[in-house]
Amino acid sequence: MQVVVCKNASEGAEIVTEEILSALSKKPELVLGLATGSTPIEVYERLICAHKEDGVDFSSVQTFNLDEYCELNADHPQSYRTFMREHLFGEINISEENIHFPPSEGPELAEKCLRHEEEIRQAGGIDIQLLGIGSNGHIGFNEPTSSLASRTRIKTLTEKTLRDNSRFYEDPSEQPQVASTLGIGTILDARRILLQAYGDKKAEAVKASVEGPISSFWPGSALQMHADVTFVLDESSAAHLEMIDYFRKSRTEGLRLQKDNTA
Ligand code: GLP
């Protein structure tokens, strides 16, 4: 596990965007796992900029979003499909058939979720998985006590998550109570994972995920079992980390080695 403590969220977004663009330049048919929420928005803005200003081509990229609400139409302003269209897909040259969301509508959802896992496998697996984290430690919509081996399925949202996201709904009765989400096991299958967390509201979840024991009570802690994961943080979200000085030092040393090797 790597932990990068940035001076602010913008520096974090730059690091994440650079890694995606570098991977894309080596593999045009990159398979990206994407997140919603406020955290990844600047990365999406930077990817749009790379497309519009530098001609970066997304036509062979495949995307798999982490989660989607179950009781909202695809075109509802709060659906994650609307979010992704507005914040990324509508502004780059990705093909509609290369965009995937976990099944969230209609009958036989459990079977459809299993087929979704198969679609990820057929695409060759997720190359880079972007993650945010909920203040209760959820990744995707894998709420506390989700099985660490879970696959794509429907989850009931916790009161904490509902409270955190209630600001998006004028009418509280419209807020969905259930969502479909890639499982923790599905997320851990990604080759590379980049988790961004910014602001003091995430500090407790970051501390538990990075330094706590692995526990389904803090789903982010499952990432400790992944061989290639980086937590990209700012000073506020990293503030509770006991090993913050070590993380700062290992970043400086890593940069120094990189410089020596390219000199
Ligand atoms: C939602 C999403 C998560 C996201 C989290 C944090 O509940 N399902 O994928 O990581 O919120 O959101 P934000 O980035 O807005 O803090």
C-alpha 101/C-alpha 86 separation (Å) is 15
pLDDT higher than threshold 70 for residue 263: no
According to DSSP, residue 262 is labeled H
Q: pLDDT of 94-136, one tens digit each?
A: 999 999 999 999 899 999 999 999 999 999 999 999 999 999 9
- The dihedral built from the CA positions of residue 105, 110, 112 and 113, taken in this order, carries a sign that is positive
pLDDT higher than threshold 90 for residue 8: yes
How far away, in angstroms, is 263 Cα from ligand 1 center?
Answer: 40
Q: Is the beta carbon of 35 within 6 A of some atom in ligand 1?
A: yes
Q: pLDDT of 199-221, one tens digit each?
A: 999 999 999 999 999 999 999 99
State the average pLDDT over residues 138-152: 98
How far away, in angstroms, is 161 Cα from ligand 1 center?
Answer: 9
CA 40 to ligand 1: nearest atom: 14
Q: Where are the alpha helices (DSSP H) in the chain?
A: 9-26, 41-54, 80-87, 109-122, 159-165, 184-188, 203-211, 244-262
Chain CA centroid to CA 66, Å: 7
| pLDDT on residue 253 | 86
Tell the burial category of 37 from Cβ atoms under 10 Å away from its Cβ (0-12, 13-18, 19+).
middle
| pLDDT on residue 84 | 98
pLDDT higher than threshold 80 for residue 259: no
Mutation test residue for ligand 1: of 36, 67, 178, 186, the one with most atoms within 8 Å of CB? 36
Q: What is the mean pLDDT of the chain?
A: 95
Q: Helix, strand, or coil here: 250?
A: helix
pLDDT higher than threshold 80 for residue 262: no
The domains of the chain, with CATH numbers, are 2-262 (3.40.50.1360)
Structure-model confidence comparison of residues 257 and 17, the more confident one: 17
When mean pLDDT is compared across 149-163, 198-212, 243-257, the lowest value belongs to: 243-257
CA atoms within 13 A on the CB side of 234: 17
pLDDT higher than threshold 70 for residue 233: yes
Residue 137: which pLDDT band, with cuts at 50, 70 and 90? very high
pLDDT higher than threshold 90 for residue 172: no
Residue 260: which pLDDT band, with cuts at 50, 70 and 90? confident
| pLDDT on residue 261 | 78
Could you give the percent of the chain with pLDDT greater than 90? 87
pLDDT higher than threshold 90 for residue 173: no
pLDDT higher than threshold 70 for residue 151: yes
| pLDDT on residue 108 | 93
71 is an active site residue: no
Catalytic residue among 42, 67, 127, 234: 67
CA 39 to ligand 1: nearest atom: 14
